[in-house]
Amino acid sequence: MGTLTHMPPRGHYLAAEAGLLAGVSGDRIGQWARRGYIRASQSVGPPLVYSYQDVAEAMVVHELEDLGADLKSIKRTIERLRKREGLSWPLQHHGKDLGTMHGSVVEHTGERVYDIGGKHSAEQQVLDPGNLQKIADELERGGWAARLVPDLRFIEVNPDRLSGRPVIRGRRIAADEVASLAEGQGGRETLLEDYEITSEEVDDAVRWWRAVREFEPRAA
């Protein structure tokens, strides 16, 4: 993930597509962008278009929330890191030094822990340095859904393939299209016979698609 932060933005995702990968709704992605938690690096105006790196940053925001940090603290952290070091995706670059404590984001250096403003803190819940690699691996394997279905093997997200749209690994075939076709009458047979997709690849596409749809907003 660290390598990506030093590269130009790659991949193109609308809010709904970014949300499916980051494990939140498209509306929430839009809110995070408008409020400065993430950026829409591939656009200068509406519609907002997000890069692969923006999606990874959103996944770290999601991770910090799950560790108990409130969004105001996350935003303060992002703003201070951007101001301090001029980084486009500061959470990915500094995530290994961050944790949470009592709803706030803290920064740890060696054995000492500071809130992001510089005050020493005594207790923390650390964002495990391994979590950043875990997030990077999950994004490459289908995004937040890979956390819900950890044994996925045939879904791939490559920002240089189909603009970063999730595909069947090693192919230029969109995973959501495979899943949609597989769930229709005779669709699985068509995929196996006409597209030469294996049964295991179809199963992974269906499981991935069912998982990502959990992030879509529910109808009232």
Report the alpha-carbon distance of residue 176 to residue 167 in Å, rounded: 8
Q: Are residues 23 and 66 in the same domain?
A: yes
Q: Are residues 124 and 190 in the same domain?
A: no
Q: Is 57 a domain residue? A: yes
Q: Is 134 a domain residue? A: no
Q: What average pLDDT does the segment 95-123 reach? A: 59
| Domain CATH number, residue 93 | 1.10.1660.10
Final residue belonging to a domain, choices 84, 99, 128: 128
Q: Are residues 183 and 211 in the same domain?
A: yes
Neighbours of 214 (CB within 10 A): 12
pTM: 0.86
List the one residue out of 111, 107, 114 whose CA is nearest residue 93.
107
| b (16+ CB within 10 A) / e for 84-102 | eeebbbbbbbbbbbbbbbe
Of residues 197 and 86, more confidence is placed in 197
Q: What is the pLDDT of residues 123-170, one digit of tens each?
A: 445 555 556 788 889 999 999 999 999 999 999 999 999 999 999 999
Report the alpha-carbon distance of residue 206 to residue 75 in Å, rounded: 35
Domain limits for position 71? 4-128
Write the CB contacts of 156 (distance below 8 Å, at least 6 apart in sequence). Answer: 140, 141, 142, 166, 167, 168, 169, 170
- Specify the 3-state DSSP secondary structure of 100: strand
71-85 helix and 52-66 helix, angle to the nearest 10 degrees: 130
Q: Is 133 a domain residue? A: no
Structurally, the chain folds into a number of domains equal to 2
Q: Are residues 10 and 117 in the same domain?
A: yes
Q: Are residues 116 and 151 in the same domain?
A: no
Q: Is 73 a domain residue? A: yes
Q: Are residues 157 and 56 in the same domain?
A: no
Q: What average pLDDT does the segment 42-67 reach? A: 93
Q: Are residues 190 and 145 in the same domain?
A: yes
* 205, 168 contact by CB (below 8 A): yes
